[in-house]
Amino acid sequence: QWGKGKPWTNHLSTPEILSETETGMSRLSLSDADKKVRDWFIDTTRSLGCVVKVDAMGNIFAIRPGKISGHATDIASAPTYAGSHLDTQPAGGRYDGILGITAGVEMLRVLEENSVETAFDVGLVNWTNEEGARFPISMVSSGVWAGEIPLHQAHELREVGGKGATMKEELERIGYLGTLPASYEANPMAAHFELHIEQGPILEASKQRIGVVCGVQAYRWYTIEVTGREAHTGTTPFSARADALLAAARMISHSHEIASNHSALASSGILSLSPGSVNTIPGKVKFSLDIRAPEDGTLDTIETQLQQSFREIASRDMTKGLDLSVSWRKDSDSPATHFHQDCITIVREAGEAVTGDKRLVRDMVSGAGHDSVYASRRCPTSMIFVPSRDGVSHHPEEYTSPEDCAIGAEVLMQSVLRYDRL
Amino acid sequence: QWGKGKPWTNHLSTPEILSETETGMSRLSLSDADKKVRDWFIDTTRSLGCVVKVDAMGNIFAIRPGKISGHATDIASAPTYAGSHLDTQPAGGRYDGILGITAGVEMLRVLEENSVETAFDVGLVNWTNEEGARFPISMVSSGVWAGEIPLHQAHELREVGGKGATMKEELERIGYLGTLPASYEANPMAAHFELHIEQGPILEASKQRIGVVCGVQAYRWYTIEVTGREAHTGTTPFSARADALLAAARMISHSHEIASNHSALASSGILSLSPGSVNTIPGKVKFSLDIRAPEDGTLDTIETQLQQSFREIASRDMTKGLDLSVSWRKDSDSPATHFHQDCITIVREAGEAVTGDKRLVRDMVSGAGHDSVYASRRCPTSMIFVPSRDGVSHHPEEYTSPEDCAIGAEVLMQSVLRYDRL
Ligand SMILES: NC(=O)NCCC(=O)O
Ligand SMILES: NC(=O)NCCC(=O)O
């Protein structure tokens, strides 16, 4: 079919307009590129003295032994982790997720090169398919670890489009289907700290350097399917049509309005239709809907309103032609998250210590989901944000300055060490 | 990418709800299925005493010699043709185009079995890629024959999506790149009569049997490309977005309104986007736009209005965020067509003779384009319509009763013979 939204490759098609720092990344979860970076992750952390474990979701845990090395399943003496992800959007940047992992590797290197002895084990975890871009549930593997998503559901999750491979098949194919159970009980963490780019405009606008992330807004993903009737574009009067694309267009435009009214967000990132011919009215359209708001209740309200208004848009009254049908499928649901006070305090103190200026540090709520959302259900958690130029993310021009990356990495290490000493 | 509007296969996926007469057809132009039916066409017409010629667009001309067999390039003694097409929509029916060809084969059979001697040659032509569904210019090969579309442009036309094979490559692959020039000068027709299903609701509603087609409404096809900026759906406030899908949705919905205001038609049958991820705002959307009206002037007006309003929809004022850019490409343009008075009269007389009742015959304007549009530029032409149940076409449930097919075939044969005697 026509221009089926082909993902970008590793090389941008428009290098001439990009400076050296403006280079994108396309490393979909469990792709060959992902296998390569995973192999690098394991080699590197092993060379820094870590023991490496891979669980049934392909999550990779690199653990550097402390003075008291915990028993595998003992939470009291479990490792304090830094963590994030190495997968990207189809046309993503070089910072989202990747910064948190490279900063974690840096932390391990600094500890090793300076022969630092921590009280307990210290670890670094690379979570699988955080983005939800290839397998359409974001943070699915930290979700399994936290016991919030059933293992079999995640294993059977098919790549976007519904026709390709499952996560389990791809884990096997690239050799990352581990034997360790993906579970906070079998493989506990004492705490989880995540350094991440803000992906929004706030720190840059306020000229601040470190965001202390106190929580994450709620979001839900749906697939909406609109069914009308194929018909000839030249011979079918509007009054005899059930045009699934026209209805979907009205729904997308309406969801934007409703979200605006609630100071919330609504976005559609995927749309496909059939049969796909210039002179045939589409009989079927599927599109994704992503709604977000700080409060779960706001999402309840928006969902209810949209269900009602999509029904209206599909009805004879509104089409002035034939009825269409609409179906909703909820693909994922991430309630509003509030991080742990101890971790928030530690990040704030570390941020103030590293920047040397309270005014450069601010509390924030994350607009995006992160593996820390699920980690926080099972262990004390917080996150560190650094500025994103122009607030741009999920785009090859995503950029954070080397200084901000370095400050963030320093705050990450200090947070882990402060927690270790707690 | 997700559910990329997969074309139907020859077998419907929902046979249980379909009666025997409600069966679709998927025979995209120059596919393997098309090769098969072309081979059948040639074998059958040869066995009925025809000489068969294939031109550089794969148009197939089967000619049954008359008393005076013309010289190849002499218009005065050229064959009188019946013609239509054997290609279908991806999810098409069994009548659109196919009826005109099978009725033409029936005509050749009746003439042969009854040893009818015509004054001049009588022919049947199967035009290539009438639908424009695979190679996105409808009637492209009759257009080349008429000298209205350059041969090289048609040969280089790529299948929908822009990445697949060209027409020339596919003609070669299936062995139908003929040596005869695709040209009315090298290969003239004395007249062209086309039997076709109405594809609309008029004959059925008025309980009439035969439409005498006096002309075809104007239509134009465009590809609209909207360019915004990829961004994160969770962290990018509406005020910082350039959401290409939201803008495209508003354009599609607006084009419907503008067309309504002019009692015209506007439809979008194809839409593709990139990058195609639930949590990335699409940076680029392409969609097709098909506008139709009885008068060329109405299309001029609609085109001007839409160019203006699409610009507005893409502008900061309307997005309440960032500017987007919009580009238009005109893919095809079929001006309003008026058929030849002689042929119109012949069809009307034949219709009245076959039905035996003037009231069952009416003059009509076609909503859809047909190869007769281009044929009419180079020889006297008219068409015969028979009723479509519920006005449905470009859909597997397309249906015309056997009686109506038979009446139509009889009118086709009589029209050709009346013209031959003229
Ligand atoms: N940080 C990030 O992009 N996470 C993906 C999940 C989401 O869409 O919020
Ligand atoms: N008859 C028919 O479907 N022709 C295709 C060209 C058009 O879309 O009108």
Read off the pLDDT of residues B274-313 as tens digits, 9 standing for 90 and up: 999 999 999 999 999 999 999 999 999 999 999 999 999 9
**Would you say residue B226 has pLDDT above 80?**
yes
3-class secondary structure, A75: coil
pLDDT tens for the 422 residues of chain A, in order: 222 323 322 222 222 333 334 478 999 999 999 999 999 999 999 999 999 999 999 999 999 999 987 655 677 789 999 999 999 999 899 999 999 999 999 999 999 999 999 999 999 999 999 999 999 999 999 999 999 999 999 999 999 887 899 999 999 999 999 999 999 999 999 999 999 999 999 999 999 999 999 999 999 999 999 999 999 999 999 999 999 999 999 999 999 999 999 999 999 999 999 999 999 999 999 999 999 999 999 999 999 999 999 999 999 999 999 999 999 999 999 999 999 999 999 999 999 999 999 999 999 999 999 999 999 999 999 999 999 999 999 999 999 999 999 999 999 999 999 999 98
Structure tokens at A146: 């936290």
Q: Which residues line ligand 1 (CB under 6 A)?
A: A 96, 130-132, 138, 368-370; B 232, 234, 279
Q: Which residue has a Cα nearest atom 6 of ligand 2?
A: B369
User: How far apart, in whole angstroms, are the C-alpha atoms of residue B299 and residue A415?
Assistant: 66
The pair of structure tokens assigned to B352 is: 């009245």
How close is the nearest chain A Cα to the Cα of B286, in Å? Answer: 8
pLDDT average, residue stretch B194-223: 97
Do A228 and A240 form a contact (C-beta atoms < 8 A)?
no
CA atoms of B393 and B378, how far apart (whole Å): 28
Q: How far is CA B421 from CA A324, B51, B70, B79, in A?
A: 52, 21, 15, 12
Residue of A230, A235, A278, A279 best suited for mutating to test ligand 2, as the one with most atoms within 8 Å of CB: A279
Whether residue B232 contacts residue B279, with contact meaning beta carbons closer than 8 Å, is answered with: yes
CB-based contact A393 B256, cutoff 8 Å:
no
From the centroid of its chain, how far is CA A122?
A: 24
Ligand 2 pocket, mutate which of B25, B86, B127, B138 (most atoms under 8 A from CB): B138
CA–centroid distance, residue A301 to ligand 1 (Å): 23
Q: Quick one: closest CA in A to B9, which residue?
A: A275
The CA B138 to ligand 2 mean position distance, Å, reads: 7
- Compute, in angstroms, the gap from residue B115 CA to the centroid of ligand 1: 76
Q: Could you tell me if A215 and A337 are in contact, meaning their C-beta atoms sit under 8 angstroms apart? A: yes
The alpha-carbon gap from A117 to the nearest alpha carbon of chain B, in Å, equals 38
Gap between the Cα atoms of A279 and A235, Å rounded: 10
What is the predicted pLDDT for the residue at A306? 98
Q: Would the pLDDT of B7 be above 80?
A: no
Residues on chain B touching A279 (C-beta within 8 angstroms): 89, 131-133, 138, 221, 267, 269, 290, 368, 394
Instruction: With beta carbons under 8 A apart, name residues in chain A contacting B395.
Output: 229-231, 280, 283
Residue A133: closest CA among chain B residues belongs to which residue?
B277
Closest-lying ligand 1 atom to the alpha carbon of residue A368? 9
For the Cβ of B64 lying below 6 angstroms from any atom of ligand 2, the answer is no
- Contact of B107 with B194, CB cutoff 8 Å: no
Average pLDDT score over residue span B345-374: 97
Which residue among A333, A370, A393 has the greatest number of ligand 1 atoms within 8 angstroms of its CB, and so is best to mutate? Answer: A370
Nearest beta carbon to residue A229 from set B270, B286, B395 = B395
Range A33-38 contact pairs with CB under 8 angstroms and sequence separation of 24 or more: A34/A86, A34/A87, A34/A174, A35/A174, A35/A175, A35/A176, A37/A86, A38/A86, A38/A126, A38/A174, A38/A176
- CA–CA dist B277, A133 (Å, integer): 5
CA–CA dist A164, A153 (Å, integer): 16
Mean pLDDT of B80-107: 96
* Coil vs helix vs strand at B272: strand
Residues 6+ apart with CB under 8 A from A359: A208
Q: Give strand pairing partners of A223.
A: A288, A329
- Which of B4, B167, B398, B126 lies closest to A6, judged by CA? B4
> A323 alpha carbon to ligand 2 midpoint, in Å?
25
Is residue B107 within 8 A of residue B413, CB to CB? The reply is: yes
Interface A:B, Cβ pairs < 8 A: 319
Find, among A351, A363, A64, A380, the residue nearest to A193 by Cα: A380
Nearest to B265 among A6, A233, A366 (CB): A233
The reported pLDDT for the residue numbered A163 is 82
Contact B278 A331 (CB under 8 A): yes
Q: pLDDT band at B73, cuts 50/70/90?
A: low
For residue A294, list chain B residues with Cβ-Cβ distance below 8 A. Answer: none
**What is the β-pairing status of strands A210-216 and A337-338?**
antiparallel
Report how far ligand 1's centroid is from the alpha carbon of B356 (Å): 71
Does the beta-carbon distance from B281 to A394 stay under 8 Å?
yes
User: Which of B5, B138, B368 has its CB closest to that of A273?
Assistant: B5
pLDDT value at residue A9: 27
**For the residues B113-129, what does the mean pLDDT come to?**
97
Q: What are phi and psi of B396, to 5 degrees?
A: -60, -20
Nearest residue by C-alpha to atom 6 in ligand 1 = A369
pLDDT band at B422 (very low <50, low <70, confident <90, very high): confident
Q: Is the dihedral of CA A199, A200, A206, A210 positive or negative?
A: negative
pLDDT at residue A27 in the model: 95
Give me ligand 2 centre to Cα B369, in Å.
4
Angle at which helices B244-261 and B296-313 cross, to 10°: 150
**pLDDT cut 90: percent of chain B above it:** 90
Phi-psi map region of A334: left, alpha, beta (phi>0 left; psi -120 to 50 alpha): beta
| Amino acid found at A90 | P
Element (H, E) at B213: strand B210-216
Peptide bond before residue B380 is cis, with ω within 30 degrees of 0: no
Minimal C-alpha gap between A79 and chain B (Å): 31
Amino acid A77: pLDDT: 85
Which backbone phi and psi does B123 adopt, to 5 degrees?
Answer: -135, 170
Strand partners, A152: none
| CA distances, B42 to each of A160, A291, B50, B51, B257 (Å) | 44, 58, 9, 9, 47
Q: Does the Cβ of B93 fall within 6 Å of ligand 2?
A: no
pLDDT of A10 reads 26
Q: What pLDDT, in 10s, does the model give residues B159-196? A: 988 789 999 999 999 999 999 999 999 999 999 999 99
**Is the per-residue pLDDT at B129 higher than 80?**
yes
The pLDDT, as a whole number, for residue A104 is 98
pLDDT at B43: 97
Query: Could you tell me the pLDDT band of residue B5, with boundaries at 50, 70 and 90?
Result: very low
pLDDT at B110: 97
pLDDT at A76: 72
**Smallest Cα distance from B117 to chain A, Å:** 38
Q: Give the nearest chain A residue to B131 (CA atoms).
A: A279
Residue B102 Cα, ligand 2 centroid: separation in angstroms? 18
pLDDT band at B18 (very low <50, low <70, confident <90, very high): very low
Tell which residue, B244, B239, B231, has the closest CA to residue A199. Answer: B231
